[in-house]
A and B are shown apart, each in its own frame.
Chain A
Amino acid sequence: MTETTPAVTPGEETVDAIVRAENVTKVFSTRAGDVRAVDDVSLWVARGETVGVVGESGSGKSTVARLLMGLQPCTSGRVVFDGRDLASVQGRELRVLRRRMQMVFQNPFGSLLPHYSAAANVMEPMRLHGRGTKESRRDRAVELLDLVGVNPRFADLYPTQFSGGQQQRIAIARALALEPELLVCDEPTSSLDVSIQAQILSLIGDLQDRLGLSCLFISHNLAVVERLADRVAVMSEGRIVEEGPAEQLFESPQHPYTQRLLGAVLPVTS
């Protein structure tokens, strides 16, 4: 690959970023040899901004999400959350920091605790961080379930008793329970039915407007990103090949990979 590094957007250093990845590289050592999942990626999310990351499967999008969440250590480079290098924060301190960043995972069937009811799943982060009493947590959980469109009457049902779309709503309610400053969504709709996808996306968009969330939104679906993101980064083979304001990027893609990606989108007729 002979990609040129993307031009640094003017004012990068002056932006009030909630999270910033600086020249981050992640190498996985496998039996087949080292895999560079993420290669020298720099990315930031400003407060109140939604950044979309698009790319094919295997382009390193999910790994970027996990690195930004501090779920995996970087091989080189660093991730700074609100001025603090995540690699230097450990144990208890890191868990306290996690309160301010929450994540919605790709697969709702797997990311909820199967032995906890919907309400208990939403209450769990509050319990972990010592928020409120048992009763107040439950009230809040029911409120959140209502907010994301899960009938509070079903609060005591278990995850397997819900459909995928409803499970993803519960997962979103759980991610919102601690009122995080940053919400990382890793393909939250890719395992869902198209009609449910639209509902979940407008839910997330709605919540962003209402709660002023900063959001990192990862998807292989360009239409999804176009709808939600203020700024978009395009990833290919572990690198960011193009990055810029959403409108500009979709209107006049500069990089050949982005052009191919945009050209490959099937016309949406519905």
Chain B
Amino acid sequence: MGTIATAESLDPTGLTTDDDGHRDGAADQLGTLRARGPWAKAWDRFRRNRLALISLVFCGVLVVVAAAAPWIAPYHYSATDYGSQLVGVGADGHLLGTDQLGRDILSRTIYGLRTALIVAFGAELLALVCALAVGLAAGYRGGRMEQGLMAFTDVMYAFPSYLFAIVMVAVLGRSIFALIVAIGIAGWVTQARLVRAQVLAIKQREYVEAARAMGASGPTIAVRYILPNAIGPMLVTTSFAIPAAIAAEAGLGLLGLGVQPPTPSWGGMISEGTRYLLSAPHMLLAPAAVFALALLAFTWVGDGVRDAFDPRGDQR
């Protein structure tokens, strides 16, 4: 159990608690004894995973770059430099070259990152909120509500998610909002089923009955006692769903269903790049490389989160 001792081992108190005799020893060792709740313990385990920690830092950098894109990017994403079209990597003023319209690839990759992260985080937030609401309601209430909600998720589950995303984009138009809704709605179903399974398992725990005996109401039990204990495992699926959503956004961009040009998306850039594959391979390489790195980093973070919330994690 790591370096954290249990209170009992430091304080084998008998009934005479006001006896200071056996307190002193405990007090000496108190410096090493820190309060570690479920979250702190998960963080302790996550921290021990070097790869996940580095990936988390990298993802943090990506988020900062995406947020500060207007200040970091050397050019606006649609600014064209007619003197220098399709120039290669390392050209004067264009570190990663330009595309067929003379737009700076580095700037477009940075703005593409911004699009990818907004869509991925937005979609996952939407999916998580839907999944928690539906899964919690279904799992805690049970009965007819559960049957109805689960039948609904079954129907959603049977629907091919890409097809659904394409329909959503067709209906809502090619905006970032449409992509968030399309990818989010396509992803929440599996998560809702997971939340429900978690809630059903936690409902059997004795502390839920103890909470009822204390006089807690149904909503209090569901939101304050069950939800916080279900959310850890949910973070695991969410952290794997984020790279999936990034890939889905790029995939839709590749199919020409991404954000409206000229707003850059990695999928769209890669798709354009394939047309100049032989004459200007740098057009494809920069977005593809960043895309691959981002996916890898987010997946590794997901791995770390999964290990951190592994119920057997303490035994290692």
**Contacts A147-B17, A158-B36 given; does A98 touch B229 at CB 8 Å:** no
Contacts of B225 in A (CB 8 A): 113
Contacts of B220 in A (CB 8 A): 128
Q: Is the CB of A154 within 8 A of B7?
A: yes
Q: Is the CB of B8 within 8 A of A166?
A: yes
Contacts of B212 in A (CB 8 A): 71
Q: Is the CB of B215 within 8 A of A206?
A: no
Bound-complex Cα distance A128 to B210 (A): 13
Q: Is the CB of A206 within 8 A of B17?
A: no
| Stretch in contact with the other chain, from B26-34, B56-64, B152-160, B281-289 | B26-34
Which residues of A148-199 are within 8 A (CB) of B? 148-151, 153-154, 156-158, 160-163, 165-166, 171, 174, 199
Bound-complex Cα distance A117 to B37 (A): 7
Partner of B215, one of A110, A125, A147, A171: A125
Partner of A150, one of B13, B27, B206, B213: B13
Contacts of B9 in A (CB 8 A): 163
Q: Is the CB of A111 within 8 A of B207?
A: yes
Contacts of A91 in B (CB 8 A): 217
Q: Is the CB of B35 within 8 A of A113?
A: no
How many residue pairs at the A-B interface have CB separations less than 8 Å?
Answer: 118
Please, how many residues of chain A have a CB less than 8 angstroms from a CB on the other chain? 49
Q: Is the CB of A154 within 8 A of B37?
A: no
Tell me the smallest distance from the CB of B129 to a CB of chain A, in Å. Answer: 20
Which residues of B61-90 are within 8 A (CB) of A? none
Partner of B35, one of A95, A103, A146, A157: A157
Q: Answer yes or no: B228 CB below 8 A from chain A CBs.
A: yes
Q: Answer yes or no: B171 CB below 8 A from chain A CBs.
A: no
Bound-complex Cα distance A71 to B229 (A): 22
Bound-complex Cα distance A165 to B27 (A): 20
Partner of A158, one of B18, B37, B215: B37
Q: Is the CB of B209 within 8 A of A149?
A: no
Partner of B6, one of A107, A150, A162: A162
**Contacts A151-B23, A161-B7 given; does A102 touch B37 at CB 8 Å:** no
Q: Answer yes or no: A203 CB below 8 A from chain B CBs.
A: yes
Q: Which residue of B lies closest to A170 (CB)?
A: B7
Q: Which residue of A lies closest to B17 (CB)?
A: A149
Partner of B11, one of A151, A174, A206: A151
Tell me the smallest distance from the CB of A197 to a CB of chain B, in Å. Answer: 13
Binary flags per residue of B2-20, CB closer than 8 Å to A gives 1, else 0: 0010111101011111100
Q: Which residue of A lies closest to B205 (CB)?
A: A110
Partner of A98, one of B23, B214, B228: B214
Q: A115-B38, A150-B13, A157-B36 are in contact. List 4 more A-B contacts (CB 8 A).
A: A105-B206, A128-B220, A149-B14, A161-B7
Using CB atoms and an 8 Å cutoff, list the residues of chain B in contact with chain A. 4, 6-9, 11, 13-18, 23, 26-27, 30, 33, 35-39, 41, 205-207, 209-217, 220, 225, 228-229
